[in-house]
Amino acid sequence: MGFLIRRLLALLALVLSLPRLVLSTAVGLVSRPDALVVRLTAEVPDHAAGWRRLFAAQHLLSLEEAVDAIDAARDHARLKLVIVLLDRAGLSLAQAEELARALEGVRAAGKQALVWVDGTTAPCLLVACAADRALAVPEAQLEFVGLRVRAVFLAELLELVGVVPALDREGPYKTAADMFTQRSMTPAHREMSESLGADLYEQVVGAFVAGRGLPRDRVAAAIDDAPVSHRAAVARRLLDGLAYKDEVEARGAALLGLDHDLRTVGPAPLLRRRRDRDLLRDVVVDRPVVALVPLSGTIVPGETGRGLPAHAAVALLDALREQPRVRAVVVRIDSPGGSATASDDLWRAVRRLDQQKPVVASLGRVAASGGYYAAVGARRIVAQPSTLTGSIGIVAGKLHLRPALERLGVGFEGPSFGARAGMFDPDRGFTDDERRAARRELERFYRVFLERVAEGRGLPLFDVERLARGRVYTGRQAHALGLVDRLGGVRAALDEARALAGLTRPHALARVDLPRGWPGLFAAERAAVDAALGPVLTLAALSRERALAWCPAEVDGT
């Protein structure tokens, strides 16, 4: 009965779409586009939310849509060129790597790629290095001036206002507590930061060496001289030429050697064409499904809340276990972690799902601490070379606020019942006995974390202990150490999932999002709040947690 109902619904959808299908087919017969034009601007989301599509005044392309369109252009018989316009695009290095791989696929298919940038940041330059031609806006300067791994320290400020951090950690590289307890980098913190920064810097320089065919010392010298004008960057062969945005299509026509104006098409018709093909298939048969589940933000307990509510994610993953058409799942993790117990709940859900059908974890900008904890429940882990990965460690404790509040005339008094009553209250510090008890629980949870990683990665516990200690790695480093199975983006993770599920016939890709209410209506407002108050709101959300698997690492200059 279910099969018949699905066929009827698919047939109804096809009938309702027939006028548009006929019109688009007719347009496709008479139009002969030469090039696909993809424009990315502002902060580029990994995925396009449905509400944003409905309510945005001007739909901003997501990374997912851009890569899908480029892949469609690669397979399109008539299209000979892909043009990517990075118009003040706020890409991360991980997103840039995904775009670069898509352009490399276009070139491998015998077609050409042109990238134009207004804003020569490291990610935009990395994308440009993957193209046949890299153009930039004329009267501007090279914005990439190197990388900096920056840490903020509040210990002196807290001492000044009378706040006493009572925090503990497991692992010398677990630096989340250093923000509150240190005045400068510890030797371990500095060692890790230097390692991270050096590898990310080499990845950007390596893109120029491989893509532009330049000696490494010349690339490094050009970056050291930045900011320099784009004209100087052309002279140094970091770019191929200069063009205003309105001149790009003429440059594309010249690249193809055309004697007519370049005929272009946007992503929408190509994406619709793919959806229409799927619509026809769905009328005939139930295709197996590979589900893509985005899991992003700080991991918090509960069904709702800012970040990644673990209970909502667990419910979604549990529901996918019961869907017979879902043959494999890719969880796209972009999270610095958060609550240790919520991270364990998420790991458990991923693990249970993987025991029934293969799960592949695709790591985005960051999958550290609790984010990596959840990932090790999957059968395979795929990360970008620049993904901040690992940070296997735990932070626990509290901020003792009584001295600060007493300065403001706030007092505390009341009877206690139980030897450790009020242990986690902020109006007093830990006793020696309480500190030992907190330390015992910290070590216990850290041991659990190590065991989860050892089991998931198939590594001896001794090796995991050596790699853990809170240390953050790039995806490239993590791959060399066995913490990651493969380097690549979402497409590589989907390939892994299909192979593990043994899918050889056409299948459907279904993105399954966590329920988020109505975020698309206020996307711009939420982005502004996150930029201004993100760290404060994150700490507020985590303030009630007894143990944190959280890694607030950031890298400037990308």
Integer angstrom CA distances of residue 243 from 233, 363, 367: 13, 35, 38
Structural domain includes residue 368: yes
Q: What predicted TM-score, i.e. pTM, was given to this entire model?
A: 0.89
CATH code, domain carrying 309: 3.90.226.10
Quick one: average pLDDT of 315-329?
95
Q: Is the pLDDT of residue 528 over 80?
A: no
The domain total for the chain is: 1
Q: Is the pLDDT of residue 29 over 50?
A: no
Q: For the segment 372-396, what is each residue's pLDDT rounded down to a tens digit?
A: 999 999 999 999 999 999 999 999 9
Q: Provide the 3-class DSSP secondary structure of residue 128.
A: helix
CA atoms within 13 A on the CB side of 202: 10
Return the pLDDT at 53: 46
Q: For the segment 349-376, what is each residue's pLDDT rounded down to a tens digit?
A: 999 999 999 999 999 999 999 999 999 9
Return the pLDDT at 228: 92
CA atoms within 13 A on the CB side of 524: 7
Query: 545: Cβ–Cβ under 8 A, 6 or more apart, which residues?
Result: 301, 338, 339, 340, 341
Structural domain includes residue 110: no
Q: Which of 114-123, 505-514, 538-547 has the lowest mean pLDDT?
A: 538-547
Structural domain includes residue 351: yes
Quick one: average pLDDT of 510-524?
64
Q: For the segment 260-319, what is each residue's pLDDT rounded down to a tens digit?
A: 999 999 998 888 877 666 555 555 556 789 999 999 999 999 887 778 999 999 999 999
Alpha-carbon distance 259 to 253, whole Å? 8
Structural domain includes residue 10: no
Structural domain includes residue 220: no
Q: For the segment 30-80, what is each residue's pLDDT rounded down to a tens digit?
A: 468 999 999 999 999 998 765 444 444 446 899 999 999 999 999 998 999
Return the pLDDT at 273: 78
Alpha-carbon distance 287 to 278, whole Å? 9
- Whether the bond between 227 and the residue before it is cis, its omega within 30 degrees of 0, is yes
With 0-12 / 13-18 / 19 or more C-beta atoms within 10 angstroms meaning exposed / middle / buried, residue 27 is exposed
Structural domain includes residue 348: yes
Structural domain includes residue 552: yes
Of 165, 152, 153, the C-alpha closest to 404 is 165
Domain range for residue 347? 285-556
Mean pLDDT, the chain, whole residue set = 87
> pLDDT class for 516, splitting at 50, 70, 90?
low
Q: Is the pLDDT of residue 555 over 60?
A: yes
CA atoms within 13 A on the CB side of 308: 31
> pLDDT class for 405, splitting at 50, 70, 90?
confident
DSSP for 509-557, written as a single string: EEE-PPP-SSGGGGHHHHHHHHHHHHHHHHHHHHTT-SEEEE----EET
Structural domain includes residue 48: no
Q: For the segment 127-184, what is each residue's pLDDT rounded down to a tens digit?
A: 999 999 999 999 999 999 999 998 999 999 999 999 999 999 988 999 988 989 999 9
Return the pLDDT at 285: 57
Q: Is the pLDDT of residue 192 over 70?
A: yes
Return the pLDDT at 413: 86
> pLDDT class for 412, splitting at 50, 70, 90?
confident
Query: 134: Cβ–Cβ under 8 A, 6 or more apart, which residues?
Result: 114, 115, 117, 128, 212, 238, 239, 240, 241
